[in-house]
Amino acid sequence: MAFALLFNKNAQSFIKLTSIICFLQIAALNGQLRVGFYSQKCENAESIVSSVVKEASQREPRMPAMLLRLHFHDCFVQGCDGSILIDNVKEAERNAFGHEGLGGFAEIQKAKTQLEAQCPGVVSCADIVALAARDAVVLAGGQFYEVETGRRDGRVSDLSFAAKMPDVDDSIEVLKGKFITKGFTEKDLVILSGAHTIGTTACFFMPRRLYNFTGKSDADPTINPKFLPELRSKCPKNGDVNVRIPLDNQSEMKFDDQILHNIKNGFAVIASDARLYEDNITRAVVDSYLPTDQMSNNNTSSSFENDFGLAMVKLGRLDVKTGLLGEIRKVCNSFN
């Protein structure tokens, strides 16, 4: 009798526990990323972000590039969770060396302030960053892609987590390794690096490539000899490291496939882009987007732009927090 009672009690607790787990799983599933996550809860969410990005880009032409880069840097450290935006903890992730030069924080907060006024506690900062990156691509002339939303904001910001960010002077093996560890392919590495079709770099990232590539006061031999003097005059030895030069030598403001031509022809500006043409796999990916004698240029460039959108959707899924995880911050630079 006592045994039956005990068994009954244990069975009841077991059923209760399983129900709770089921409920949690359903709640978490409900929170999966999807296109139009805010269409009921905050119907103007996407248009508010778009208008802030548009206005900011009219004021500051560098804005699209900054916002696109911000999303990458957010996602690559602890997933796309807005952790890059936090600035009021002691060792904030945002202050890591690998995040040098990031911008667009004020615009993300501007969109957040407007969203909080319309639908308090609904739209995550991580989603604002993802939407702003897409709007930035479109404003720069790139192809529109749907952004999945429903991310929640992370509760951790730690400088040490940024150590695994790809570095401009990484070898191609290291670059590939850093992307593959995060679930990306070599193709993703090439396509996402194609983001360097817009924006600029500070001369800060150039000295090794231009003046000390193998420790013998030499330049990176993959730089086209016609291009080296230009790069060296823009970023002179011991010059001002804050001077900014276009990443895409021909069309820094336009989202197109010119960067891939540059990589092939020795006109890549930063070393990590040049490395993409040194490896059989990544070189084949670059070449696959460039016209051959049989193909017209138009066919190939539209496919890069289309694939860029797909790669951005994949980037936007990286280690996201959804459902019951994380939080919806009240302000983007500080935890609730």
Question: Which residues form the interface with ligand HEM (CB under 6 A)?
Answer: 62, 65-66, 68-69, 72, 101, 103, 166-168, 175, 192-193, 195-196, 198-202, 205, 247, 270, 272
Give start and end residues of each alpha helix (H) in the chain: 2-30, 45-59, 63-76, 105-118, 125-139, 172-181, 186-193, 207-211, 228-234, 258-265, 271-275, 280-288, 297-316
Q: Which helix (H) or strand (E) holds 244?
A: strand 244-246
For the CB of residue 122, give the shortest distance to ligand HEM in the complex, in Å: 26
Q: Which of 71, 73, 99, 261 is catalytic?
A: 73
How many whole angstroms separate alpha carbon 283 and alpha carbon 41?
45
Nearer to ligand HEM, 196 or 321 (CB): 196
Nearer to ligand HEM, 38 or 255 (CB): 255
Query: 3-class SS at 34?
Result: strand
**Known catalytic residue at 73:** yes
How many whole angstroms separate alpha carbon 129 and alpha carbon 98?
18
For the CB of residue 68, give the shortest distance to ligand HEM in the complex, in Å: 4
Nearer to ligand HEM, 239 or 323 (CB): 239
Give start and end residues of each alpha helix (H) in 143-296: 172-181, 186-193, 207-211, 228-234, 258-265, 271-275, 280-288
Q: Taking Cα atoms as reference points, which of 268, 147, 151 lies closest to residue 209? A: 268
For the CB of residue 184, give the shortest distance to ligand HEM in the complex, in Å: 9
* Terminal alpha carbon distance of the chain: 52
Place of tokens 């900014």: 244
Nearer to ligand HEM, 178 or 330 (CB): 178
For the CB of residue 302, give the shortest distance to ligand HEM in the complex, in Å: 19
Task: Please state, as a whole number, how many other Cβ atoms lie within 10 Å of the Cβ of residue 323.
Answer: 16
Nearer to ligand HEM, 201 or 301 (CB): 201
Confirm if 259 and 197 have CB atoms less than 8 A apart.
yes
Nearer to ligand HEM, 89 or 174 (CB): 174
For the CB of residue 98, give the shortest distance to ligand HEM in the complex, in Å: 9
For the CB of residue 97, give the shortest distance to ligand HEM in the complex, in Å: 11
Nearer to ligand HEM, 65 or 111 (CB): 65
DSSP states of 154-171: -S---GGGGGGS--TT--
How many whole angstroms separate alpha carbon 78 and alpha carbon 45?
24
Q: Taking Cα atoms as reference points, which of 234, 235, 249, 248 lies closest to residue 197? A: 248
For the CB of residue 268, give the shortest distance to ligand HEM in the complex, in Å: 11
Q: How far is CA 84 from CA 166, 174, 260, 294, in A?
A: 15, 23, 28, 45
Where in the sequence numbering do the catalytic residues fall?
73
